[in-house]
Amino acid sequence: MMEKIEIALLINGRWHAVRVEPRRTLVDAIRDDCGQTGTHIGCEHGVCGACTVLLGGEPVRSCLMFAVQADGREIRTVEGLADGDKLHPLQRAFMEHHGLQCGFCTPGFLMLAVGVLEREPDIGDADLIEALSSNLCRCTGYQNIIKAVRAAAAEMRAK
Amino acid sequence: MSGRDRRDTWVGRSIRRVEDFSLVTGRGRFTADLAATHWVRFVRSPVAAGKIERITAPQGATVITAADLAGVKPIRPMLHKFGYVPVDQPILASEVVRFVGEPIAAVIAASEEEAEDLADGVEVAITESTAVVRAEDALAEGAALVHKDVPGNVVVEARHATPDFNAARKAAHRLLTIEIRSRRQNAMPLEARGGHAAYDPASGRIFFTCSTQTPHLMRTAIADLIGMPESQLRVIAPDVGGGFGQKMSLPPEYVVLVWLARKLKSSVAWREDRRENLIAAFHSRDQKIRLEGGFDRAGKLVALSADVTANIGAYSCFPTTCAVEPLMALAELPGPYDIRAYSGVARGVLTHTCPMAPYRGVARPVITLALERLMDRAAAAFDLDPIEIRRRNLIDRFPYTSATGLVFDEASYRETMEMAAAALDVAAFRVRQRQARTIGRFLGLGLATFSERTGYGTPAFAARGMEITPGWEKVELTMDPSGLVEARIGASPHGQGLRTTLAQIIADELGIAPAQIVIVHGDTDRTPYGFGTFASRSLVIAGGAALIAARKVRVKLIKLASHLLEAAPDDIVLENGNAKVAGTDRELPIASLARAAYHQAHRFNGEIEPGITEAATYDPPGTFSNACHAAIVEVDIETGRVEIDKFLVAEDAGRLINPMIVDGQIHGGVAQGIGNALLEEIIYDETGNILTTTLADYLPPTLREIPPMELHHLETLSKETITGAKGLGEGGAIGAPAAIINAINDALSPFRISIDEIPATPQRIRAALRAAKANA
């Protein structure tokens, strides 16, 4: 075992001080050290995107980063998406349009979409499809995910 | 809710899923979310075949090998027909290894990382031997035997022939053959497998949480293998991140976890990583089918013969056995076509590869590909339109007993095809196709019509001779004193939305809202025994049991109301949460009936049993849903790349309980079918080493590869199911490969080639085009 390093992660507005090995991935730290298990692990090699979180507002694959690289940084995960009981438009849209079945990829897709739409609210459809092609879903055939994201994008723009 | 929704009942409405809230807020509970005291890493075989000489553990490491598990029985799935030869799968490899990825040892440490580090230090000395990797190698004269007691590596071989076959074949006007091949796939649920076994000090029992589709069968199998009383084991399937069949079979790893938790009197967990999942979770689809069709002068198929070879890997899977693929292929091969003379042979062949298990569609994606290629070939041979040749051959009278004895209930094979053809505007496409060819662009249209046998009960499984004969499901329904309903089911949904759809079925019977009904599943302590969720069965079978149980509760509520409202039972109506006397303003909330049933039992003079709990089992004969899939593709002949321009499904699954969920099932199935047709392939080299160990090598489709789908529905209610519903979970995956491959072949028809192998990767398409050019 390697020596542990103390780091602090600001997850959904709350600081988590944890001691991790330098080799510990960010997703393991978020899930196992900080107890935020809403973020999922699908492949641990950066392809499926189930572990997508926002780091400083940008979608990242938290399985491809070491936790120590995120020391002191602001992280948003699916647990922080709703405002109290008030769901984020994307969460509502996924429910409304049946954008999930088993729900395992959903946190990653939600965070990816939030990141994309916050950065580029007027994103064109081709670019949106390209962006959402970053993540894998095995249940929905993506039909209702894209429908949900389009609907949420329209709602977020209208605000 | 959409325009096609029903308004007067809960059934038929696209209500939102009750499953979703926790899943979109990160509150889902999956197996990997649980903390454990001990973590396990499996040491796996790096070679396909060989003899284990010795296993050396690093200093201080806790390592469990086959020798430690001496008292644990091997997995020995059993079938009592078709010359099936049972094979044993040791929980951890002892003496020999039979595929790359086979678990040899379990390393236990305080963290996952430590377990991995220690596992890296475990040295396994293996004397390698020759591996047989492809089915044709395993069948060759003098081939190495995967199991020494299975001669010729054939673990099962079944034959079927109608008495008139030879005469019918002889009388045929024209014989056409097709040979198709489906390469190997992995169902690849996004959540890999995993288990968490915890010793409960209070009861001495083991609570085993795992990613499974079949919690009760897991309990039965694991308890039996370990030799512990079944009641000492509680199996929990929490949220499960997809299964598609891969999680219905028993993984040996799960047996190790339960055994360890008992031994250590502690909690022990394992989270399968993606590499393990790709190499050692069950594979599927590796099959070859040769068909010969004898047609009369009018293009009617009058004699069909089939030869099916399934590469089933190194072991047989529990509970279905490895015979599930070849036997289903043999029984269902005539498909939706009216063929009276049929002769077939289907075999399962052992190889030094990862074991095969059911995957969404089981055999039918491959048999549909074979039959639909044959139909298109016949269309070309008889100079008929692909739609016309199918018109002349599809079943159109019901009930229809097939050449293999299956009884097809009423369906709409022709109607769905005509529906698809009309929606596509085939004539306009042909014009577009001709024009495109003049500028060197190659468009094609492909169809696939198929039947999807679903919701079948014990007789269907018994026909296969399965020792474990699934079929029935049970539902227990309790209305609590506050009027809320709990339905406990043996089925085990993992994304299908059954908590929503079963509540819709029950709500209509009881006159209450679905929100007042909670479906409990996935816990052997809390649910009645059942087989789980697979084979497009749960909505039909658990749904049927839920309906019967709800009708019993309804009878009881009416009895209670009739006493309390002093009216004849026939005059009581249950609606909108109230029991009413028809034609009067007298009514009582249904919740008050529940209160009375529990707390004022004396008011019923001993005529009504206190409390409200009813149970029902349901074991239907089975039903066939059907669909026509149609694809329009463009093939780039320079690169071999296939782009799907349009994908259309005309589906008939009987009564739709929740149309939104139905569409979701079709979307997901079609996407997996597209992966099967174009992208996904598990590849072994000639030594049995697996080359596709990451998702950069094994390619499930992304949004970019999946076109928008257009869905149409017919609702031919099944007389064979109590709800009128037919299952449809697998259909998307069944039809899509055939529709796409037919479309590719239509696009490439000027080159006179036939693409009959899936996935039809750019490499395969280019190779075929190059060969065509060389021969020209």
Collapsing DSSP to helix, strand or coil, A21 comes out as coil
Beta carbons of A140 and B664 less than 8 Å apart: yes
**Nearest Cα to A16, choosing from A67, A60, A54?**
A67
CA gap B402, B691 in Å, rounded: 42
Q: Is B61 within 8 Å of chain A by CB?
A: no
Confidence of residue B3 (pLDDT cuts 50, 70, 90): low
How many CA atoms does the CB half-sphere of B275 hold within 13 Å?
13
First to last CA, chain A: 51
- Residue B182 above 90 pLDDT? yes
- Residue B194 above 90 pLDDT? yes
Beta strand pairing call for B442-454 and B623-635: antiparallel
Q: Residue B249: what residue type?
A: S
Query: Has residue B152 been placed in a domain?
Result: no
| One domain for residues B625 and B638 | yes
- Residue B4 above 80 pLDDT? no
| One domain for residues B578 and B647 | no
- Among B568, B589, B618, the domain boundary falls at B618
Q: Is B644 within 8 Å of chain A by CB?
A: no
Burial of A21 (0-12, 13-18, 19+ CB in 10 A): middle
Query: DSSP states of B327-376 as a string?
Result: HHHHHHTTTTB--SEEEEEEEEEE-SSPPB---TTTTHHHHHHHHHHHHH
| One domain for residues B643 and B609 | no
Residue-range definition of the domain harbouring residue B638: 360-450+621-775
Neighbours of B570 (CB within 10 A): 9
Query: Has residue B352 been placed in a domain?
Result: no
User: How many cross-chain Cβ pairs, A to B, lie less than 8 Å apart?
Assistant: 171
**Nearest Cα to B737, choosing from B682, B679, B695?**
B679
- Residue B2 above 70 pLDDT? no
* pLDDT tens digits along A68-104: 999 999 999 999 999 988 999 999 999 999 999 999 9
- Residue B7 above 80 pLDDT? no
Locus of tokens 């998406």: A81
CA gap B242, B336 in Å, rounded: 29
Helices B659-674 and A143-158 cross at an angle (nearest 10°) of 120
- The full set of domains in chain A, from first to last, is 5-80 (3.10.20.30), 89-158 (1.10.150.120)
Burial of B611 (0-12, 13-18, 19+ CB in 10 A): middle
Query: Has residue B373 been placed in a domain?
Result: yes
Q: Are A140 and B23 in contact (CB under 8 A)?
A: no
Torsion sign (Cα): B427, B428, B434, B437? negative
CA gap B515, B130 in Å, rounded: 60
Q: Are A103 and B239 in contact (CB under 8 A)?
A: yes
| One domain for residues B70 and B113 | yes
Q: Residue A53: what residue type?
A: V
CA gap B418, B413 in Å, rounded: 9
Beta carbons of B26 and A78 less than 8 Å apart: yes
Beta carbons of A98 and B191 less than 8 Å apart: no
Both structure tokens of B681: 């392939």
Locus of tokens 């196992």: A32
CATH assignment of the domain containing B736? 3.30.365.10
Note the pLDDT of residue B605. 87
* pLDDT tens digits along B413-454: 999 999 999 999 999 999 999 999 999 999 999 999 999 999
Q: Is A86 within 8 Å of chain B by CB?
A: no
CA gap B316, B77 in Å, rounded: 6
Q: Residue B280: what residue type?
A: A
Q: Are B652 and B713 in contact (CB under 8 A)?
A: yes
Count of domains forming chain B: 3
- Residue B769 above 70 pLDDT? yes
* pLDDT tens digits along B590-599: 999 999 999 9
Note the pLDDT of residue B369. 98
Beta carbons of B190 and A42 less than 8 Å apart: yes
| One domain for residues B391 and B527 | no
In percent, the amount of chain A with pLDDT more than 90 equals 96
**Nearest Cα to A80, choosing from A45, A54, A101, A106?**
A54
- Please name the helix (run of DSSP H) or strand (run of DSSP E) that holds residue B171, with its range, or none: helix B165-171
- Residue B191 above 80 pLDDT? yes
Strand partners, B446: B631
| One domain for residues B377 and B479 | no
Give the residue from chain B lying closest to A139, CA to CA.
B668
* pLDDT tens digits along B300-359: 999 999 999 999 999 999 999 999 999 999 999 999 999 999 999 999 999 999 999 999
Beta carbons of A104 and B661 less than 8 Å apart: no
Beta carbons of B26 and A39 less than 8 Å apart: yes
Q: Are B132 and B150 in contact (CB under 8 A)?
A: no
CA gap B95, B330 in Å, rounded: 35
Q: Is B603 within 8 Å of chain A by CB?
A: no
- The whole-angstrom distance between B453's CA and the closest CA on chain A is 21
Instruction: Identify the DSSP state of B70.
Output: T
Residues in chain A: 159
Q: Are B652 and B625 in contact (CB under 8 A)?
A: yes
Who's near A98: CB < 8 A, 6+ residues apart?
A140, A144, B16, B17, B660, B661, B663, B664
**Mean pLDDT across chain B, nearest whole number?**
96
| One domain for residues B769 and B700 | yes
* pLDDT tens digits along B658-696: 999 999 999 999 999 999 999 999 999 999 999 999 999
| One domain for residues B551 and B657 | no
CA gap B188, B283 in Å, rounded: 9
**What is the torsion angle, in degrees rounded to the nearest 10, for the CA atoms of residue B660, residue B29, residue B199 and residue B39?**
120
- The whole-angstrom distance between A158's CA and the closest CA on chain B is 22
CA gap B177, B179 in Å, rounded: 7
Distances in Å between the Cα of B711 and the Cα atoms of B628, B630, B659 are: 10, 10, 11
Locus of tokens 């041979």: B381
- Among B271, B304, B322, the domain boundary falls at B271
| One domain for residues B419 and B532 | no
- Please name the helix (run of DSSP H) or strand (run of DSSP E) that holds residue B254, with its range, or none: helix B252-264
Query: Has residue B291 been placed in a domain?
Result: no
* pLDDT tens digits along B48-98: 999 999 999 999 899 999 999 999 999 999 999 899 999 999 999 999 999
**Mean pLDDT across chain A, nearest whole number?**
97
Both structure tokens of B314: 């190194």
Q: Which of A125-134, B3-12, B48-57, B129-138 is predicted with the least confidence, judged by mean pLDDT?
A: B3-12
Q: Is B663 within 8 Å of chain A by CB?
A: yes
Mutate to test the interface with A, among B14, B19, B190 (most CBs of A within 10 A): B190
Note the pLDDT of residue B775. 78
Query: Has residue B321 been placed in a domain?
Result: no
Note the pLDDT of residue B461. 87
Give the residue from chain B lying closest to A89, CA to CA.
B24
| One domain for residues B583 and B724 | no
Which backbone phi and psi does B271 adopt, to 5 degrees? Answer: -120, 115
In percent, the amount of chain B with pLDDT more than 70 equals 99
- The whole-angstrom distance between A57's CA and the closest CA on chain B is 19
Query: Has residue B151 been placed in a domain?
Result: no
| One domain for residues B498 and B443 | no
Locus of tokens 């069950």: B282
Q: Are B250 and B223 in contact (CB under 8 A)?
A: no
- Residue B575 above 90 pLDDT? yes
| One domain for residues B59 and B72 | yes
Torsion sign (Cα): B770, B772, B775, B776? negative
- Residue B714 above 60 pLDDT? yes
Q: Is A127 within 8 Å of chain B by CB?
A: no
Q: Are B474 and B616 in contact (CB under 8 A)?
A: yes
Which backbone phi and psi does B485 adopt, to 5 degrees? Answer: -110, 135
Note the pLDDT of residue B410. 96
CA A86 to chain centre: 18
Query: Has residue B258 been placed in a domain?
Result: yes
Ramachandran region, residue B688 (left: φ > 0; alpha: ψ -120 to 50; beta: rest): left
Both structure tokens of B689: 């080493």
Q: Is A13 within 8 Å of chain B by CB?
A: no
- Residue B1 above 60 pLDDT? no
Helix (H) and strand (E) counts in chain B: 19, 31
**Nearest Cα to B238, choosing from B545, B530, B40, B19?**
B19
Closest in A37, A96, A136 to B16, CB measured = A96
Instruction: Identify the DSSP state of B628.
Output: E
Q: Residue B75: what residue type?
A: I
* pLDDT tens digits along B478-495: 999 999 999 999 999 999
Q: Are B590 and B511 in contact (CB under 8 A)?
A: yes
Instruction: Identify the DSSP state of B145.
Output: P
Torsion sign (Cα): B4, B5, B7, B11? positive
- Percentage helix, strand, coil for chain B under 3-state DSSP, each rounded to 5: 35, 25, 40
Residues in chain B: 776
- Among B254, B271, B288, the domain boundary falls at B271
- The whole-angstrom distance between B603's CA and the closest CA on chain A is 44
Helices B731-747 and B659-674 cross at an angle (nearest 10°) of 50
* pLDDT tens digits along A37-68: 999 999 999 999 999 999 999 999 999 999 99
Query: Has residue B218 been placed in a domain?
Result: yes
Note the pLDDT of residue A85. 87
- Please name the helix (run of DSSP H) or strand (run of DSSP E) that holds residue B651, with its range, or none: strand B642-652
**Nearest Cα to B753, choosing from B295, B377, B307?**
B377
